[in-house]
Amino acid sequence: MTEVVSENSEVTVLLVDDNPQNLKVLYETLKDKGYRLLIANEGEKALDLAHRHQPEVILLDIMMPDMDGYQVCERLKASPETADSAVVFLSALDDLQAKVKGFSLGGADYISKPFQSQEVIARVKTHARVIRLERELQARNRELQGDQTRILNSISEGIYGLDENGAIEFANPAAAMIMRCPVEEIVGRNFFEAHFATSIEGTGGLPVHGTCRQGVAENQRNIRMLRPDGSAFPAECRSTPKLDDDELHGAVVVFRDITAELESEAALEEARTLVQEQRDQLAHASRLTTMGEMAAGFAHEINQPLTAITNYARVSKRMMAKETPDLGLIGETLDKIEAQSHRASEIIRRIRRFMKKPATGKEIISLPSLLEDTRQFAEVDMRNNDGGIEVAVPEELPDVVADPIQVQQVALNLIRNALEATRSSGASTPVEVSASVAGPHCVRVQVRDHGIGLPEDAEEKLFLPFYTTKDEGMGIGLATCRSLIQAQGGDIGFERPEGGGACFFFTLPVAGAEGSPCRPEDPVSARED
């Protein structure tokens, strides 16, 4: 055996013939073609070279002693290392049977002896190219399979490949980790039987079943999946059909354990509930503070009808003490007593309504009546301030969905601030309370005063907790207002109107509106309209 390596060898060609003259001719024919040439003069040596160098092309003589070319070819094709080599038989046997036998054993081509050099060169070139392309394709496929495996192994979600009956054909390491058992124990099991408590009616209603049988993609959350050890866990599961030319071959299932996620969501919801409770308590404390500040005014307001009732009662007694009492005049006096008692009762009703804690949930409210009620409520402060309150609300204003007590609290807070600003500036122009439609699903309420306005640097801090422009303010009023309005699905803001003063506004969603119709940008766009 002799091994000859040509320069610039890219393709290896093994020449096998027991005739030295034939080997020499083959070598001379191919030596300048850039191939790496290997030479063997018998079958065993040919097999040894083939296994060590995996040649792309083997020119193989059939008629050899000890081991003929057919036997060599058979053993080459039986070995994984040499199975893809292109075996081109060289033989003086030119009958059809010899050729058929060669091809049946895996031969790629057949050249009859005596061969022509150009034919050998052309055949080798063709087969070498085909083998190189096949090997490159196989290498690329192995690379892609490696990438696919690495990707699947790196994904934290469990992945199953199912056939149309639900049998698990593939499982990635994450699936094994979630299921707490090796991949080998998962593959081959039935997905529905292994992970769901199937009923006697079958698997028809189970997750992923529709994907396997009808090719319908599914996405389900918080379903209960079983592990092989019998434990259960909540899961999110997505499944997509495996299709090949529109033919359904099962499903790919991606799933994950959402136990921690659900616990986090529950904790978050609990925190939200706590925040809401604290916000309600803060709002209630703010209302109590407001009532404390308005106590003197309310005392005066209630004292007036009570004094009038006392006086009317005395007058009635004197009239009734006469020998011939004027019953008509007494009746008119009693009507006045009744009216004054209603007046006092109405004031107390407003106070009690304002002071109580709001019921959970929102209701449909009419803003004109609520703002008018608030105006009357604020009249107590108005009497302690110069100026007045003007309410301008169109009759066709749509109803809104909100908590009436909290909306009234915000409106009253803004009105009282406006009255205070008006008094501080020494102005007598009334505070203007108005409402209008802002966009298709939102109503805007604004309170404008003609007071001293706000400092330039106050605008960005107005609604921050504990920020105040008042000497004796605590800085929780506007922060509470923002919290209350945002809880209604609306927004609150401030504008500098032309002519001085200040304008605060808030928005509320129209009853029946869907989504978040009162986003912060809505009032701006409404003003631009």
Task: Give the ranges where 155-182 is alpha helix by DSSP (H).
Answer: 173-179
Collect the ranges in the chain with pLDDT lower than 70: 1-9, 198-204, 357-361, 381-387, 465-476, 515-517, 519-529
Sorted by where each begins, the domain ranges of the chain are 12-152, 155-261, 271-355, 363-509
Element (H, E) at 361: none
Q: Is the separation of the CB atoms in 235 and 257 below 8 Å?
A: yes
pLDDT value of position 293: 76
pLDDT value of position 97: 85
pLDDT value of position 313: 92
For 211-239, write each residue's pLDDT tens digit: 998 899 999 999 999 998 989 999 999 99
pTM, rounded to two decimals? 0.55
As a whole number of angstroms, the distance between CA 102 and CA 74 comes to: 9
Q: Look at residues 487, 508, 489, 488 and name the one whose alpha carbon lies nearest to residue 439.
A: 508
pLDDT value of position 529: 36
DSSP state, residue 481: H
Measured from the Cβ of residue 327, the count of other Cβ atoms closer than 10 Å reads: 10
pLDDT value of position 400: 93
**Could you give the 3-state DSSP secondary structure of residue 36?**
strand
CA distances from 350 to 302, 368, 377, 408, 420 (A): 12, 16, 7, 11, 22
Measured from the Cβ of residue 295, the count of other Cβ atoms closer than 10 Å reads: 12
Name 401's bridge partners.
Answer: 364
